[in-house]
Amino acid sequence: MKRAAAIQMASGPNVAANLTEAGRLISLAVEAGAGLIVLPENFALMGMKEADKVAIREREGEGPIQAFLAEQAARHGAWIVGGTIPLEAGDAEHIRAACLVYDAEGRQRARYDKIHLFDVTLEENGETYNESETIEPGSEVVVVDSPFGRLGLAICYDLRFPELFRQLANKGVELIALPAAFTALTGRAHWEALVRARAIENVAYVVAAGQGGYHVNGRETHGDSMIVDPWGQILDRLPHGSGVVVADIDLDKVAQTRRSFPVLEHRRIDCKLAS
């Protein structure tokens, strides 16, 4: 049986400080027995303005953030899902919000670029988010073989689009890594319900790693990082503050649940609408 961890942070505008904190929390996860560690969205930078991440974008395979992830994976002999980092896009004003996966030797094994961008105005508190101003969306669904099973990748706002997760299921996903930075408002309303729903409907583990706390830029993120099993049970969670949640990943449980409750085999997508 393997063990996974989700890291929760409250990142700020100083990349070096964020990497130091991420390194500290990775060490705690390894000490707790985790061999797969998921960092939150924007773990290396929560800037004062959206354009700050464009200024630190990296070319794939180069740059200090990617070097940090590779070094941490190799040092600890652990697989690391690198939250999101800003990689070069098609023009100088945008980045790709890329989730990179490193194996225990520090080699990059997968890359997923965030597909669904958070362009939303929250009427309750007046907050406005326009990720498309600085982020170029991805278009490919990604699942990678790992010692922890078939590992699928999704990021934050992707959580609201079940069709993406169903495509992961179609690719044989057994475990889903979900880096996130949910707002405090939307997190209180929907985070737990959506994370558990994605686990239940796809009969898969979900390792959801969130930003959690108050940030220098004035933003508050929800936190409540959690690991959920294929039956929708929360195995561990961290409601507030920086830290680590850890749980065992039992692939036999995935297989057994799918045999006894074969919901994925019962899908009827060929039905016709009545005229």
99 has catalytic annotation: no
Q: Where are the alpha helices (DSSP H) in the chain?
A: 15-31, 52-55, 64-76, 162-170, 184-186, 192-202, 251-260
What one-character DSSP code corresponds to residue 233? -
156 has catalytic annotation: yes
The token pair at 154 is: 């999704």
Residues 6+ apart with CB under 8 A from 270: none
Catalytic residue among 21, 88, 136, 156: 156
Q: Rounded CA gap, 262 and 270, in Å?
A: 18
Contact 99, 177 (CB under 8 A): yes
Residue whose C-alpha is closest to residue 110's, from 60, 65, 76, 163: 60
Residues 6+ apart with CB under 8 A from 16: none
Catalytic residue among 114, 131, 136, 174: 114
Report the amino acid identity of residue 9: M
The token pair at 132 is: 């498309």
Residue whose C-alpha is closest to residue 36's, from 140, 200, 114, 152: 152
* Half-sphere exposure in the Cβ direction for 35 (13 Å, CA): 13
Q: Rounded CA gap, 131 and 263, in Å?
A: 35
The token pair at 202 is: 């796809």
Longest Cα–Cα distance of the chain, Å, equals 61
Catalytic residue among 41, 88, 131, 174: 41
Cα separation values, 83 from 12, 99, 109, 256, 267, Å = 15, 5, 14, 30, 32
41 has catalytic annotation: yes
Could you give the residue numbers annotated as active site? Answer: 41, 114, 156
